[in-house]
Structure 1
């Protein structure tokens, strides 16, 4: 991942609704959620939700699949992994043992 892509992803997450959508889709896991369901859970109008989902999609943090007339959204775990790898690329100044607690916390949360 390059700096521009990482900045785009972080920028996408810097807005409250998009952060809430992202976290909701991470919790939904492999099942994902229909766009309408996401809007209902978060109390966000359809057109506003569509805009926010498009920004997250463009940032590589979510992916979607068309299911008939509906669109199901999923957290893009590969995109998330790439962003985390970029952020932690030079972790702990060449002392990987210092990163252990951070990596354990991330792994535990999964």
Structure 2
């Protein structure tokens, strides 16, 4: 991940509703949640949630998959892992391999 992509991901997560959406999708796992259900679970207006979902998708933190007339969203754990790796790449006095267990521990193979 480069700096521009990391900034986009951090900016996307820096808004309360988007952070709630991302956490909800992480909890849902690989099955994800339909867009309308995201709105219902958060008690938010559907068109507002739609804009937040678009921002998170563009930031590489979630994925969208069309199912007929609806869209199901899942957390993109590869994008999340890449963000963590970027943030930690210079850790441990220039020995990022020491941080690899931390990155592996906080991400799943979803």
Per the TM superposition, whether the score is higher than 0.5 is yes
Q: How many residues align?
A: 108
**Shift of the alpha carbon at 1:107?**
1.2
Maintained 8 Å contact 2:9/2:61: yes
Unaligned runs of 5+ in 1: none
TM-score calculated relative to the size of structure 1: 0.88
- Partner residue, 1:19: 19
- Partner residue, 1:107: 105
Change in 2 beyond 3 A, CA 1:108/1:75: closer
**Shift of the alpha carbon at 1:81?**
1.0
Matches for 1:66-85 after TM superposition, within 5 Å = 66-85=66-85
Question: Alignment RMSD, CA only?
Answer: 2.0
**Shift of the alpha carbon at 1:103?**
1.0
In structure 2, the residue corresponding to 1:44 is in which secondary structure?
A: coil
**Shift of the alpha carbon at 1:37?**
0.5
State the distance in 2 between where 1:97 and 1:55 align.
31
Unaligned runs of 5+ in 2: none
Maintained 8 Å contact 2:9/2:56: yes
1:15-53 Cα offsets, whole Å, 9 max, x none, are 000000000000101010000111000001110010000
In structure 2, the residue corresponding to 1:72 is in which secondary structure?
A: strand
1:94 aligns to 2:94 (yes or no) = yes
1:57-110 Cα offsets, whole Å, 9 max, x none, are 00000001000000000000111111111011011213568748x818x61685
Change in 2 beyond 3 A, CA 1:91/1:71: same
